[in-house]
Amino acid sequence: MARVTDPAIAPQPATPTPKPEQDHRDTPHSEAFMDFITSGWAPRESLGITEDEVAAFSGARREALSARFPGARLVIPAGSYKVRTGDTDYRFRPHSAFAHLTGLGLDLEPDAVLVLHPLFADDDGDGEPQPVGHEAVLYARPPSSFESDEFFADSRYGEYWIGARPMLEDLETKTGIPTRNIDGMRDALSKDAGGEVQLLVVPEADEAVETLVEAVRLESGAGDPPPGTPTNADLGRATSEIRLVKDAWEIEQMREAVNQTIDGFAAIVQALPSAVDHARGERVVETVFDAHARLEGNTVGYDTIAASGNNATTLHWITNDGPVRPGDLLLVDAGVEVESLYTADITRTLPVSGTFTAVQRKVYQAVLDAADTAFRAAVPGAQFKDVHAAAMDVIAARLEEWGILPDGITAAESLEPDCQYHRRWMVHGTSHHLGLDVHDCAQARASLYKEGVLTPGMIFTIEPGLYFKSGDLTVPEEYRGIGVRIEDDILITDNGAENLSVALPRDPDAVEAWMASLMGA
């Protein structure tokens, strides 16, 4: 075929590729501007950080974890920012395992990673090194240089945007842990990774770090670990289980969180007239408590439940947009998280008008009796599940007494595993562990949690309830729309159980007198 020469169909010069349109947030800057903004700054000084009291305790926590994984390299990320929407993030909160093992709370070091590097020694002289513990190293991002555009242009890390970041030596002083630039972490993770050292990372703490660890494993040529070898999930579970028993420092943090929460409940009672006057009175209650938590602690430990009337029969009512009406009950489930990230978790059910009606008091007393019976079961040597069983004995007995159990079923029959009719009106458990997470130690094995033996230093809730929904036609009309929960935070001691939240009234007469004193009645 002849070569095409007709200019009408001859190849035309290629159209230049359009230059990508600039993002509206990209601000060009001149060389003169760069010279000006990166100069004239005083030398950066230490923030004056001193060693935290917790440093004396966090070392023992790391040793407890180390003992479970001899010879493995353990990677515990702080985590990174989480997107709220668009280009805005939630306030940073480190992963609980990282906070527990380093003592770092608040938002000091997003993207930091704690690594426990295995140590080996040939103690018996046979030429075969044996694992002898771990060396902890904290990998963190140092403050940006004044000479870099990160200093003024990076909204995530730049000092202009988020303030001064601690220097590596500050973090080392604060935690007592040797601290290195995170740029060197990959090489540190790679050391012996394909040989005798297994790499483990806490799952679901930081996706980028998990990806890095897996990449290092593949690059090292490490094959699949033999059966029975610990996994990432095992590491995550262990970081939960070593928190089941709190040390002395943690117990003091919990006392502070509980005390601040009690003060928050007093503020709620004082604000009840305003709540009654507002169309979304539940939102008034929520706002009062959340403001107190932010002012006196770090924030709330979880979304506050402010549930009035029938809303109190919804276990996790956090919409909090309903009215607060005189004559109704107001169920408030709230906790202050202090700056160390330990949180309380307390529930009180309050008569909005200041006094219980006869049927409200009847239901309230049943729940209180269940709580007190559970408290008496919470003794060292008992099983965790015994606490729930004790509360259910009372709940089932009252439902039988009131004629609410169906078809003539007795309380004893309802308590049988294949019956459980009473749980229609209390479907949740009576207790959960409490600490850095509101449902602390949640990844622990059932043998150590539900079937676990109560041990001095354990902190958990006792929170029975009864919930009669307004549309529940199986109960007499007088009960419908009543929801009651009473929740306290319990410390197991050598002698029994201490109610950390006992200063917040529980008895119905005491509740009424306390409310009257706060409302000026």
Domain end point (choices 241, 273, 302)? 241
Burial (CB count within 10 angstroms: exposed 0-12, middle 13-18, buried 19+), residue 450: middle
Q: Does 14 have pLDDT greater than 70?
A: no
C-alpha pair distances (Å), 164 with each of 15, 158, 161: 49, 8, 9
Task: Say which range, 71-75, 160-164, 322-326, has the weakest mean pLDDT.
Answer: 160-164
Rg of the chain over CA atoms, in angstroms? 29
- Which token pair is 257? 């969180």
Helix (H, G, I), strand (E, B) or coil at 328: coil
Q: How far is CA 156 from the centre of its chain?
A: 23
Is the pLDDT confidence value at 146 over 90?
Answer: no
Say whether both 447 and 464 belong to one domain: yes
Q: What confidence tier does 2 reach under pLDDT thresholds 50, 70, 90?
A: very low
> What mean pLDDT do residues 456-483 have?
98
Segment holding 497, helix H or strand E: strand 496-499
Looking at the 3D structure of the chain, how many domains does it have? Answer: 2
Do 135 and 110 lie in one domain? The reply is yes
CATH number of the domain bearing residue 402: 3.90.230.10
Question: In terms of domains, do 167 and 208 share one?
Answer: yes
* Global confidence as pTM: 0.92
CB atoms near residue 193 (< 10 Å): 20
Alpha-carbon span 175 to 187, nearest angstrom: 23
Q: Could you write out the DSSP letters of every residue in 167-219? A: PHHHHHHHHSS-EEEGGGHHHHHHTTTTTT-EEEE-TTS-HHHHHHHHHHHHH
Which residues sit opposite 488 in a β-bridge? 462
pLDDT above 60: residue 9:
no
In a domain, 24, yes or no: no
Rounded Cα gap, residues 339 and 107, in angstroms:
10
Q: Which two tokens stand for residue 148?
A: 């870099």
Per-residue model confidence as pLDDT tens digits over 80-98: 999 999 888 899 999 999 9
Q: Within this chain, do residues 208 and 64 fall inside the same structural domain, yes or no?
A: yes
Q: Which residue range forms the structural domain that includes residue 392?
A: 248-519
Percent of all residues in the chain with a pLDDT value above 70, rounded to a whole number: 93
90 with 164, same domain: the answer is yes
> Where are the strands (E) in 163-224, listed by range?
179-181, 198-201
Last residue in a domain, options 215, 241, 267: 241
Higher pLDDT pick, 239 / 197? 239
On whether both 309 and 210 belong to a single domain, the answer is no
Q: Is 259 among the domain residues?
A: yes
Identify the H or E element spanning 308: strand 305-308
Q: Domain boundary residue among 191, 208, 241?
A: 241
Whether residue 229 is found in the same domain as residue 300: no
The answer on 347 and 207 residing in a single domain is: no
Total Cβ atoms within 10 A of residue 87 = 8
